[in-house]
Structure 1
Amino acid sequence: MAADIDEQPAGYARLLSAANAAEIAQVAAVIAERRPRHVVFTARGTSDHAALYGAYLTEIRLGLPAGLASPSVVTLFGARPDLSDALVVGVSQSGGSPDLAEVLRAARASGALTLAVTNAPDSPLVDVAELSVDIAAGHERAVAATKTYTAELLALLMLVEGIRAGDGVLPQAEREALDALPELAARTLADGTPAQLAPRYRFARQLVTTGRGYAYPTAREAALKLMETSYLPALAFSGADLLHGPLAMTDPEVPVLAVVGSGPGGRSMGEVLPRLGERRADVVVVGSADVPGATRLAVPEVDERYAPLLDILPMQRLALALALTRGEDPDAPRGLKKVTATM
């Protein structure tokens, strides 16, 4: 897991290389020409959180309605929604889950434009889709996904911005901003704070993660990593949803990881953090925002769209360090396999 985490800056650079960027641009140009009226993502597990990020990007940057499909609607209940005007995107590290392939198969039969975003270009998901994007993350050794998650994020970001451009080619300013990500990721991973923080939560019984907007998928993915590697019950909430009841469960014994950036989503957390303070919750702020008096996992400031590619990195480090501190093996979580086949 440590090796996979460390490879992420190189993975960003690889995906941003001319060859891979050109392939994504070609797919984006085809989608832009087809002009879908809405976008539906389908995914499981870690990839579901990348898909949620893709949905935020789609609605904010493209102005298209977007949502996440429930695969069981197709695979268990036999429904065949009319997706004739949709772009349906399957996001999967392995491309091997039968239910995701079945969703794309049914969507394509109804007239949808289908796209597979995966680390396995020879997978069943790619076989059934009309278009595909290879996230080029390389072999991931650990069961808990790290580098494939961030590669999915970056691929979806490049895809959406390419669709927005119309011809798939990113504007120069956008390209320069993305080209800075490998170095920023390396700088973020060089910070030893997550390992120093891990002993603080060695005996924690549960934990809450929270964030809004682009940060919400990060909160969900961080919770999953903690559950997978440390078996620590972790609940993820949108900052807004946290105020609608779950806030009552927070107290000094329930640590809260709050993802707080400098954009609109981060600023909106300004109403959440004081309420957590009233509950005397043990709060760690993750991100670029400077919150006086708070323990921080600091991340370089970037456009809020890019922040999920950096904010998750210290969370991955924390999950790894916490698992080791608790005497667990993060490379072999009990009961889990690299590829989970569901229907």
Structure 2
Amino acid sequence: MSDTTAAHHREQPGGIMSAEMAEQPAVLRRILDRGAPAIAGTARTIAARDPRFVLLTARGTSDNAALYAKYLLEVQLGKPCGLTSMSTVTAYGARPDLTDVLAITISQSGGSPDLVASTKAAREAGAITLAVTNNADSPLAAVSEHHIDILAGPERALPATKTYTASLLTLYLFVQGLRPGGGADRAAAEALPGLARGILDRAAEVRQLAARYRFAERMVLTSRGYGYPTAKEAALKLMETSYIPALSYSGADLLHGPLAMVDNISPVIAIVTEGRGGEALQPVLERLRGRGADLMIVGSEAEAARGTAGFALPTAGVPEELQPILEILPLQMLAYEITVARGQDPDAPRALAKVTETR
């Protein structure tokens, strides 16, 4: 980006977030071209130690990336996997036996004290520790046995965009590298930068959707399988930028009670991944239609056409486990466009800081 263009972005409300969203194809390409060898090497080293269990630790946007990693590890490797409750260590002082456990901590900044403390405690308890961050010089990287840099470059807008998709691709390549005899298999991911660019070029289409939803008082987001982290991350982006209460549910959980609040006023956004997750979501979509929901579908062209509104994704031929990297892009854009339409600045949501000092 030229200095003139960067200055223009700084002057516009949301200009920094917009510029960072636009960087995502280049970031994905950088990971594939420059990051993949180091990711594969780290994966081989850890695979040789044959961890019996995986624990994932994160907050906020990185927590949604961790949930994506949980699906990868359980579905593709059959590894038992859990999301940690850091307060058991940082507040209660618990010291579980983590011998031969792989503890992965994901953090854009690598600076949150509770992440650092829980990772340090995990290493002392016998875990193999891996930090996945956007800052190789961070305290988290320093206390971890292994570190992977997601290579997203500086992220200045408070809402994380490029660091989320960079984390997803990095974690995908890492899990590929853990496979027996594996290396970071890039082939399936090679099309992602170009496909991402095509989606980001459709801003006018997203702006029309934003005009539809700018006055929403509440939104519900749902998906299943690999798409579920996308629903959670999109809800977070909507809440932290536009301040619209956005509730995210697994499609299965939505049927266990929360479906009762769905009506024809509050929009529902469904992320329908092509594959088993999308198939599992179909009964939920039918129930939503039966309740007269204002249903926006993010998915294939055929699925998007079945909603009250929709955004068609170019996912033909893209493996189900890689589709979340594309699914989140129009939803990042939607959060941005709704926020701007409501007269707010997406770059600087109120009461937020880039590094959250949780303990």
Q: Structure 1, residues 246-267: CA drift from partner, whole Å, max 9, x if none?
A: 0110111110110002100011
Q: CA deviation at 1:184?
A: 0.7
Q: Structure 1, residues 192-241: CA drift from partner, whole Å, max 9, x if none?
A: 32111101112111000000011000000000000000000000000110
Normalized against structure 1, the TM-score is what?
A: 0.97
Q: Structure 1, residues 85-118: CA drift from partner, whole Å, max 9, x if none?
A: 2100000000001111111111111111000000
Choose from 305, 314, 317 the match for 1:300.
314
In the TM superposition, what are the counterparts of 1:37-56 in structure 2 within 5 Å?
37-56=52-71
Aligned partners of 1:71, 1:23: CA distance in 2, in Å? Answer: 28
In the TM superposition, what are the counterparts of 1:66-215 in structure 2 within 5 Å?
66-170=81-185, 175-191=186-202, 192-215=204-227
Cα gap change, 1:185 to 1:165, in 2 (>3 Å): farther
Matched with 1:325 is: 341
Query: Which amino acid is the alignment partner of residue 347 of structure 2?
Result: D
Q: CA deviation at 1:161?
A: 0.6
Q: CA deviation at 1:324?
A: 0.5
Matched with 1:335 is: 351
Aligned partners of 1:23, 1:157: CA distance in 2, in Å? Answer: 13
- Matched position secondary structure for 1:306: helix
Query: Which amino acid is the alignment partner of residue 41 of structure 2?
Result: Q
Q: CA deviation at 1:63?
A: 0.5
Aligned partners of 1:293, 1:223: CA distance in 2, in Å? Answer: 22
Aligned partners of 2:219, 2:37: CA distance in 1, in Å? Answer: 42
| Aligned 8 A contact 1:32 1:166 in 2 | no
| Aligned 8 A contact 2:70 2:82 in 1 | yes
Q: CA deviation at 1:243?
A: 0.7
Q: CA deviation at 1:166?
A: 3.2
- Percent identity between matched residues is 57
Aligned partners of 2:187, 2:96: CA distance in 1, in Å? Answer: 40
CA RMSD of aligned residues (A): 1.0
| Aligned 8 A contact 2:226 2:273 in 1 | no
Aligned partners of 2:64, 2:352: CA distance in 1, in Å? Answer: 18
Normalized against structure 2, the TM-score is what?
A: 0.93
- Matched position secondary structure for 1:127: helix
Aligned partners of 1:81, 1:288: CA distance in 2, in Å? Answer: 44
| Aligned 8 A contact 2:220 2:269 in 1 | yes
Q: CA deviation at 1:31?
A: 1.1
| Aligned 8 A contact 1:40 1:66 in 2 | yes
Q: CA deviation at 1:293?
A: 3.4
Runs of 4+ that moved beyond 2 A: 165-170
Cα gap change, 1:166 to 1:106, in 2 (>3 Å): farther
Q: Which consecutive residues of structure 2, in runs of 5 or more, have no partner in the other structure?
A: 1-16
| Aligned 8 A contact 1:257 1:286 in 2 | yes
| Aligned 8 A contact 1:91 1:118 in 2 | yes
Q: Structure 1, residues 33-61: CA drift from partner, whole Å, max 9, x if none?
A: 01001100000000000000001100001
Aligned partners of 1:62, 1:147: CA distance in 2, in Å? Answer: 27
Q: CA deviation at 1:165?
A: 4.4
